[in-house]
Amino acid sequence: MSLFTCHGWKIFFYPLFYKQWVELSHRVRVLKTELSKEEFITHADVKLLKALDIGIKEKIPQDPFASHFVLQKPLHKYGRLKKMGLPARYRLFFRAFKEQKIIIIIWLGFPRKEGDKNDCYQVFAKKVSLGDFPEKVDELLAECEVKDSEEEKED
């Protein structure tokens, strides 16, 4: 089951990103109880969560194959969101499947430091080359659904 649908695209969170999303959402909930309204609105985590929400619900589903999302080989099957509200050194990696109208949000990479072995592109490329992400949409979805089922059991 998709988390939601936007612009006709079913959106799923891969377990790697889902964990990041849950942790960030939790930090923001805690901040809301600890900070004044002014401090809360300007906090980096709050801004990041809002930017991710807009990117996932509005920016990416408008056209996940737009040229500004395109990556080059060996990552050509994936897209990434940069800028568009995200902090400068963050990249949100995703995979879209046109025929099924499915977008799977895979991972929020940070930092972006070109040439560094920990650069998010280098880390993501290594994950892809090691086969961390299944190639087929059904296999990717199965991993998303397994994670969703595990989370429901824990609640």
E strands, the chain, where?
Answer: 4-6, 9-13, 79-81, 91-97, 102-109
pLDDT in tens, 75-132: 999 999 998 889 888 999 999 999 999 999 999 998 777 777 788 888 999 999 999 9
Question: What is the DSSP secondary-structure string of 1-27?
Answer: --SEEETTEEEEE-HHHHHHHHHHHHH
CA distance 55 to 137: 21
Question: In sequence order, what are the residues at sequence separation of 6 or more whose Cβ sits closer than 8 angstroms to the Cβ of residue 37?
Answer: none
Report pLDDT digits (tens) over 24-64: 999 999 999 999 999 999 999 999 999 999 999 999 999 99
Q: Whole-prediction pTM value?
A: 0.88
- Could you tell me if 61 and 22 are in contact, meaning their C-beta atoms sit under 8 angstroms apart? no
In the chain, what are the domains?
Answer: 4-149 (3.30.2310.20)
In the block, residue with structure tokens 């079913």: 10
Q: What are phi and psi of 20, to 5 degrees?
A: -60, -45
